[in-house]
């Protein structure tokens, strides 16, 4: 692993790490994080993919993890900044540096939800969605559904003006988020079909996205209900999504949940599932003459 100097499209410096294979490179993989999750969380999985021959990239959105430069109240980023200035800019840089390698995204939750909205999505050889679903209140797990009104109608509106950001780490909810990002996410979650109805152009972006998708949802996800995952993946119209509902017991695991896939406990059972899909999709791409 090495830290790569990277500057977003507006000059903002971001923390990016690259995990290099020891042998021939099969492709490039960008791991796009869930909301408020630092890139360090994904390092074990990134190492695994590098061992399988994929140059793997992790990064922190501005205001998160190693891309945070305080004070937090001065960070004005919204989800559009994360998508266009950070996430998409990294994809474009990798495409320019390695134009002949297939480029994949592994999106965790938010990182997969917004993949169809990426301006440079035409460069993607495929997307792997991990625990990606609708965050709309009606698509939450029963326990999370009960607590959501407190977050959206009390905590977010009350705390953001006081602190100048959402102090999630102080109260053990989500994590620290820029106010603009929190309010935009709140709008998505308070609409019936999440970003499909809460973000202008999102439904059309899903309907026109033309790349292979592997979606892994987990029966014991403590945050998102499966109906919301189905909703987003059925919004893809160009290709049928390879959708798999994973039962922990069938994989010899006690628990997976919303975050467990990226923990080393899943290396033997679940991580090869993704690597094999990447291998197969990359091989298909080469057979079709797409690089």
Count the domains in the chain.
1
Answer whether 77's CB lies under 8 Å from 71's CB: no
Predicted TM-score of the model (pTM): 0.96
CATH number at residue 187: 3.40.50.1820
Q: 4-21 pLDDT, tens per residue?
A: 989 999 999 999 999 999
Please give the structure tokens belonging to residue 211: 């790349």
pLDDT bracket for residue 285 (50, 70, 90): confident
Q: 107-118 pLDDT, tens per residue?
A: 999 999 999 999
Strand segments, DSSP code E, in the chain are: 2-7, 13-19, 27-32, 54-59, 103-108, 124-130, 165-167, 176-178, 213-218, 242-246
Domain span at 8:
2-287
| Helix (H), strand (E) at residue 89 | helix 88-97
Residue 224 CA to residue 132 CA, distance in Å, equals 8
pLDDT of residue 250: 96
pLDDT of residue 286: 82
């Amino acid at each position: 692993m090495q830290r790569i100097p990277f500057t977003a499209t507006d000059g903002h410096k971001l923390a990016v790490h690259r995990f290099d294979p020891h042998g021939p490179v099969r492709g490039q993989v960008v791991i796009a994080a869930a909301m408020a999750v630092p890139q360090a969380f994904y390092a074990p999985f990134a190492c695994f993919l590098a061992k399988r021959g994929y140059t793997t990239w992790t990064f922190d959105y501005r205001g998160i993890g190693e891309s945070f430069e305080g004070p937090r109240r001065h960070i004005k980023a919204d989800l559009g900044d994360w998508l266009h200035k950070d996430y998409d800019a990294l994809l474009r840089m990798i495409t320019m540096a390695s134009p002949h390698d297939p480029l994949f995204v592994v999106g965790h939750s938010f990182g997969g939800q917004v993949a169809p909205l990426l301006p440079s999505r035409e460069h993607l050889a495929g997307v792997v969605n991990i625990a990606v679903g609708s965050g709309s209140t009606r698509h939450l797990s029963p326990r999370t559904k009960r607590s959501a009104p407190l977050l959206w109608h009390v905590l977010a509106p009350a705390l953001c003006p006081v602190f100048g950001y959402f102090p999630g780490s102080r109260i053990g909810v989500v994590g620290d988020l820029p106010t603009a990002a929190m309010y935009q996410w709140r709008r998505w979650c308070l609409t019936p079909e999440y970003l499909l109805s809460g973000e202008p152009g999102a439904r059309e972006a899903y309907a026109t996205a033309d790349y292979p998708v592997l979606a892994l949802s987990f029966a014991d996800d403590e945050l998102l209900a499966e109906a919301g995952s189905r909703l987003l993946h059925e919004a893809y119209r160009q290709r049928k999504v390879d959708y798999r509902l994973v039962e922990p017991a069938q994989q010899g695991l006690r628990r997976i949940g919303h975050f467990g896939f990226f923990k080393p406990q899943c290396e033997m059972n679940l991580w090869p599932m993704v690597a094999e899909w990447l291998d197969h999709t990359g091989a298909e791409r080469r057979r079709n003459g797409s690089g």
